[in-house]
A and B are shown apart, each in its own frame.
Chain A
Amino acid sequence: MSRITLATLGGLLLATAPAAAQLGSYNPRAGARETLVIRNAMIHPVTGPVIARGSLVVSDGRITAIGATVTEPTGARVIDANGLHVWPGMMDGATRMGLSEIPQGANATVDASEVGDYTANAQAINGLNPHSAHIGVTRMAGITHVVSAPTGGTISGSAALVHLGGDTPPEMSVVRNAAMVITLPRRGFGGRGGFGGFGGQAPGSTQDADRARERQLDSLRAVLADARAYAAAHAAAKADPSLPRPAEDLVLAALGPAVAGTMPVLFNADRAGDIREAITFAEAEKLKPIIIGGADAWQVASLLKEKDVPVVLTGIMGLPSREDDPYDVNFSAPSVLAKAGVRFAISAGDDGAEVRNLPQVAGMAAAFGLAKEDALKAVTLWPAQIFGVADRLGSLEVGKMANVVVTDGDILEARTRPVHLIIDGRVVPLGSKHEALYEMFKDRP
């Protein structure tokens, strides 16, 4: 039985620090899958009560045992986590991880959107840079898997649900095409309710804007109807070889699972009216909606609850959008949604570089009324449920994917340090571009 001690960050980094390149591969590679026992830890399973002192066993990428006492497999690598905490890896359901490295001034590092209004066949997984420095920084905060979504146009394409412990996009993929991204044309600003001086529009233009918007919606409805017809025609042709096989259409084919209601659709919507519109639209089109953004979701909480539409909140740290909003309107929004029984997850609301702040965003929600346990669920179990992967992710349970974080304290606290990181059953050395540069310069005379 081999045994590892708490390796110091520095020791690991010396082995992994790359040369100082502007864009390079800074993320230490995960080790091979192995059988692991984490002992003597305070375990936070999320789906069950805290185990004050217990063990967790990982084998072949999965959690195989958890409890106050477990049967330890022979030959396992033992991690003594005495005085430490064990958590499920956290998840952010609204990022562009790997799709956008330096958004300003380095266009060549941005692959987040395609040309066109209906680019349903654009797949985030094909643009995702597995060596983005954001990935190493993000997982050091205990975030082990994310949804990386494209943007732009009306139908942007499909988002990927990936873990952050692989060398290639296929290795990282948890759900290759996890959701379709749709942004309905926004309702006209209409003068009142705007903010920052940009709210007003010249009289008359509002009606023009509304008409243009209706045309865009009609056009989107037509695309979705085509996708349904396309799927039906292909199904019919498959069932009856005598029928002519319809021409292939990559856009309509990509929309198939979304219009069938098997793939969720991410609707980017923040304002109350836009959220209502998305719910109405999704219901009419028989789509399975997830609201992304949801700044004003608290205003339409009863509708969200009634239609059982989940929300991924990206604007908790955003400034209030109206002058007379309470100062904490966005901090306390998760608490309002929780009380109303709305299903939601908390996102850092960032493309990549600042996704690592996710735990503190959840903490802020807890400071403003959300129960601490719920704040933890909102970055672990709830996003997994919303994206339909709670059978594999979101908690520490036997059979689930071994995305496990060992820390020296409360995982939501900014002061807490990671001690061990396991993704997909592989030990990930602690390190990132930041740690590498720190090691490189901290002792410069």
Chain B
Amino acid sequence: MRLPMLAAALVAAAPVAAQAPTTLIKNATVLTVSRGTLANTDVLLRGGKIAAIGQNLAAPAGATTIDATGKYVMPGIIDPHSHLMSDAINEGSLSVTSMVRIADVLNPTDRGIYRAAAGGVTTINILHGSANTIGGQNATVKLKPGRTVQEMLVPGAPPGIKFALGENVTRKNSSTVIVQGQSPAPRRYPTSRMGQAEVLRDAFTRAKAYRAEWTDYRARTARGEKGLVPPRTDLELEPLVEVLEGRRLVHAHSYRADEMLMLLNLADEFGFKIQTLQHGLEGYKIASEIAKHGAGLSSFADSWSYKIEAYDAIPHNVAILLRKGVNATINSDSDERIRRLNIDAARLVRYGDLTEEEALRIITLNGAIQLGIEQRTGSLDIGKDADLAIWTAHPLSVYARVETTFADGEVTFDRARDLAAREALAAERKALEAKEGSR
């Protein structure tokens, strides 16, 4: 795969993406993640897509050329569990809040977008918090500082929904569940793992009945019956019907093996799939059962012991799951940690002997698969979105730093530009402070 390959099909790109600049990255070590490592290789970004990967590519007219000799190019990091940009996280009044949408409360000016981009991150799954058994509808977002939320939402990304199990739901440790204006959180059904299983069973029992009502209505309408009153649209149950029909991906916060197993069995019983177990820190205890259900799992790399249900977490979790055939990833769940997921991935080379490519995949391609967007991002392949970052050293090295990050071909972070802007920003700050009078 060393020859330059141009994808003609890519010329017809979306209008916004077509405005993305053309960039030729020269002579890098390219970590494709899907097809191994390519030495001394060029990558051409055009129309927001990866247009070519090969050696001695010619720069098209108007292209910006970056000499990346001695540097590494890897796919943009994908974080399957983030709360970045979220002005609210939990609608904590009820335990089933499937009707709420995180996309309604996203702040496109969140400074964390830029800081994450500076860590080589290009795509995140923004989820609700874990206060509720069913938390709400997710948003899959490309991190593009300066863009609107609409421009950041990944087109065609399958919709998802957050579920949660365990201590945060039962509020056994209410200091972690801070509902705005109410602290500590009041008692609420469910307060045990028994109750949360029944909350889920109740919700899906109602969703099935609701779906049957609509199925019946549509069948009778199709038969030509007149004067029928349609069922009342139920915003709580609509997303759950989508789950039952495989049109909405379930991302389920869970820690203990037994609660994960309860959920997988309940999903089997109701005939739907769990797309990912989020955190799933004890997933390694039931790796075969997770593999059998077909769920993915998105873990912390090595966080543990911060609460009871995290006390048996081990950093080998991902390795055991991968060996059993589970599509596993690591996530940040943190505006801080999202900036260094490469180091988190590197730790798993040591804990459980992941290969370097596996370590890279658990922060890129595997995440794309979990979010249902692997056709467009997650690896360096021709025709995929131009989501990637240039690193000063191998990104699994603790000494590596991001030079430039691209999302859909747009520069979302550039260290040289950042450094150049600092003096002007400092001067602006000084001037503003002077205007405000005494401090």
Contacts and interface: CB of A to CB of B under 8 A. Distances in A.
Contact of B316 (A20, A317, A363, A438): A438
B203 to A, nearest CB: 26
Interface stretch (B7-15, B71-79, B339-347): B339-347
B308 A106 contact: yes
A192 B314 contact: no
Contacts of B305: 101-102, 133-134, 352-353
Interface string A309-345: 0000000011110011011100000000000000000
A353 B397 contact: no
A257 B351 CA distance: 44
Given A413-B397, A414-B347, A416-B350, A438 B308 contact: no
B315 A327 contact: no
Interface string B150-176: 000000000000000001000011011
Nearest to A356: B302
A291 B305 CA distance: 27
Interface stretch (B35-43, B54-62, B398-406): B398-406
Interface string B108-130: 00011011001000000000000
A445 interface: yes
A441 interface: yes
A364 B314 CA distance: 23
Given A324-B425, A438-B352, A445-B288, A104 B398 contact: no
A223 interface: no
A56 interface: no
Contacts of B118: 327-328
B409 to A, nearest CB: 22
Contacts of A319: 112, 115, 335-336
A444 B303 CA distance: 23
B263 to A, nearest CB: 19
A313 to B, nearest CB: 16
Contacts of B398: 359-360, 363-364, 366-367, 412-414
A353 B306 contact: yes
Interface residues of B, number: 51
A415 interface: yes
Interface in A79-132: 101-106
Interface in A331-386: 352-354, 356-357, 359-360, 363-364, 366-368, 372
Given A102-B307, A106-B308, A438-B352, A317 B340 contact: yes
A32 to B, nearest CB: 29
A22 interface: yes
A442 interface: yes
B350 A367 contact: no
A22 B397 CA distance: 34
B311 interface: yes
Nearest to A105: B173
A320 B173 CA distance: 28
Contacts of A414: 343, 346-347, 349-350, 396, 398
Contacts of A224: none
A433 B316 CA distance: 12
A376 B189 CA distance: 52
Interface in B313-366: 314-316, 320, 323, 335-336, 340, 343, 346-347, 349-352
A434 interface: yes
Contacts of A328: 118
Interface string A411-439: 01111110000000000000001100110
B399 A372 contact: yes
A104 B307 contact: yes
B284 interface: yes
B314 A438 contact: yes
Interface string B405-419: 000000000000010
A112 to B, nearest CB: 14
- Contact size range, A: 35 or more
B435 interface: no
Contacts of B422: 326
Contacts of A105: 167, 172-173, 307-308
A134 B398 CA distance: 23
A427 B335 CA distance: 40
Contacts of A367: 392, 398-401
B304 interface: yes
Interface in A382-418: 412-417
A444 B284 CA distance: 9
A441 B308 contact: no
Given A106-B308, A133-B305, A413 B346 contact: yes
A367 B391 CA distance: 11
B312 A104 contact: no
Nearest to A325: B111
Given A326-B422, A438-B352, A441-B284, A318 B307 contact: no
A442 B346 contact: no
B396 A415 contact: yes
B226 interface: no
Contact of A104 (B176, B349, B400): B176
B82 to A, nearest CB: 14
B439 A192 contact: yes
Contacts of B350: 414-417
B165 to A, nearest CB: 15
Given A22-B311, A414-B350, A434 B316 contact: yes
Contacts of B396: 414-415
Contacts of A323: 111
Interface of B: 111-112, 114-115, 118, 167, 172-173, 175-176, 284-285, 287-288, 302-308, 311-312, 314-316, 320, 323, 335-336, 340, 343, 346-347, 349-352, 392, 396-401, 418, 422, 425, 429, 436, 439
5 contacts: A105-B167, A192-B439, A415-B396, A417-B350, A437-B312
Given A324-B429, A326-B422, A372-B399, 6 more contacts: A102-B305, A317-B336, A317-B340, A323-B111, A414-B350, A415-B349
